[in-house]
Amino acid sequence: MIVLPARNEGPRVGRVVAEVRRLLPGVPVVVVENGSIDDTAAAAARAGAVVLRSGPGYARALRAGFLYALDAGAPWVVQMDADEQHPAAALPALLRALDHADLVVGSRFVGAPGYRVPVHRRTAIGALAALASVCAGQRLFDVTSGLRAWRPEALAALTDDYPEDIADANLLVRAVRRGLRVHEVSVPMRARSGGRSMHAGPASVLFALRMMVLTAREGLGPRRLLLGGSPATARPAPLEFSHRSLP
């Protein structure tokens, strides 16, 4: 199942849903609208998505989508953004990587980078990634990527106390420290085709500072291995889909 949080993405979300449905026909696409003042919900529904609504905030939208996917018994869940940055063509690679991971991150900073991330943003993400790597005890690169593939048991291990407002680097640290295997694969992403990023403007500074505090706080807590084994040794079973069904 594909989960797309979306706020004021009316001009773009329909194209994202259509792109995913062309690549993975029959896979449910769920758009979680969270506080839009445009036609995001209507555009998503016209494109064939299931539309949910959540409280304001990216993390709340994700949690609502994840709980819906778990209730539906989805064999895997992919979260992606509704602003056309994440190419649907990358999804098969993420799903294949779930054969040896619990959580797979589509990374701008492993392999081919795709569009050029502005220097100030790349510097900030690099600093946050360094902090997250220390807190997790594992090298992490793209800690703010919104393109992630999940095994359902990994989601179930995190949704009970899922973060209320921020779920980026802090959630990756939490996942590693709870014994989940986190892997990154290279995804050449695209620049936003329009709209406004939640990381833009003066509020982005406060957002970054809060994310660093929450990430550090995750690193201070005790490790809790929820799925058995350890991040270095856990070997998940093969997923229930056939690779022959993927492009």
Each residue of 214-246: pLDDT tens digit?
Answer: 999 999 877 776 655 444 334 455 565 544 456
Rounded CA-CA distance 213/217 in Å is 6
* Separation CA 146–CA 167 (nearest Å): 9
Q: Are 59 and 21 in contact (CB under 8 A)?
A: no
pLDDT, tens digit, for every residue of 57-94?
999 999 999 999 999 999 999 999 999 999 999 999 99
Q: Give CA separation, 235 vs 115, 160, 215, in Å.
A: 34, 24, 26
Question: What does the pLDDT read at residue 242?
Answer: 43
CA distance 183 to 142: 11
> Under CATH, which number does the domain 2-227 receive?
3.90.550.10
User: Please, which residues have CB within 8 angstroms of residue 244's CB and are 6 or more apart in sequence?
Assistant: none
| pLDDT at residue number 214 | 94
Give the model's pLDDT for residue 123.
87
Residue 124's pLDDT is: 87
CA 145, CA 106: separation in Å to the nearest integer? 7
Q: Please say if the pLDDT value at position 169 is more than 50.
A: yes
- Looking at every residue in the chain, the average pLDDT score rounds to 87
Q: What does the pLDDT read at residue 235?
A: 46
User: For a pLDDT cut of 70, what percent of the chain falls above it?
Assistant: 84
Query: 109 or 20: which carries more pLDDT confidence?
Result: 20
Q: Which two tokens stand for residue 147?
A: 């393109």
Residue 144: CB atoms within 10 Å: 18
